[in-house]
């Protein structure tokens, strides 16, 4: 049976990790944005002047508009593309089977290439050994394949 305390036992560690890895860097970034620090020497507190310099520029609104426009276009295009491919995968079993196998192709290619290189190098060593034994069988022939 679940108790009310079990909710906190499982939630608190997740919140601590989230706070450590996500919220803490954001707070440090905000603190650093309020000072002028070159990396060497003492830090000088400048308050909101860094933000005033950004917001009072003429190009700031144009850049914000371009960023919002780009975001709307990219999110819309990716959503429509994702829905299209999901519908295609749902309706066509051949494409569905291929799309399930396709992500494994890059992972398997390294094993195939490694196996091919291993086989070629092994064949080269075997052929070298065969040549050496064939030549050493002839009388008066000195074999020097190692250089």
Query: What pLDDT digit, counting tens, does each position of 11-61 carry?
Result: 899 999 999 999 999 999 999 899 988 888 888 888 898 888 888 888 888
In a domain, 13, yes or no: yes
- Together in a domain, 84 and 34: no
The predicted model scores a pTM of: 0.43
- Together in a domain, 83 and 134: no
The DSSP element (H or E) to which 36 belongs, if any, is strand 35-36
- Together in a domain, 9 and 50: yes
Distance, CA of 92 to CA of 145 (rounded, Å): 59
- Together in a domain, 11 and 52: yes
In a domain, 93, yes or no: yes
Q: Which domain holds residue 85?
A: 58-102
In a domain, 129, yes or no: yes
In a domain, 147, yes or no: no
The DSSP element (H or E) to which 134 belongs, if any, is helix 104-137
């Amino acid at each position: 049976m679940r108790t009310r305390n079990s909710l906190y036992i499982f939630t608190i560690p997740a919140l601590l990790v989230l706070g450590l890895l996500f919220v803490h860097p954001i707070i440090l970034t905000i603190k650093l944005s309020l000072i002028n620090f070159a990396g060497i020497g003492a830090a000088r507190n400048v308050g909101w002047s860094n933000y005033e310099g950004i917001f009072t520029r003429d190009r700031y609104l144009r850049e914000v508009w371009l960023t919002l426009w780009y975001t709307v276009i990219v999110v819309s295009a990716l959503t429509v593309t994702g829905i299209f491919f999901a519908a295609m995968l749902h309706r066509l079993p051949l494409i569905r089977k291929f799309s399930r196998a396709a992500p494994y192709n890059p992972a398997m290619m390294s094993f195939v290439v490694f196996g091919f290189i291993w086989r070629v190098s092994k064949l080269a060593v075997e052929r070298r050994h065969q040549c050496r034994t064939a030549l050493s069988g002839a009388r008066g022939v000195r074999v020097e394949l190692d250089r």
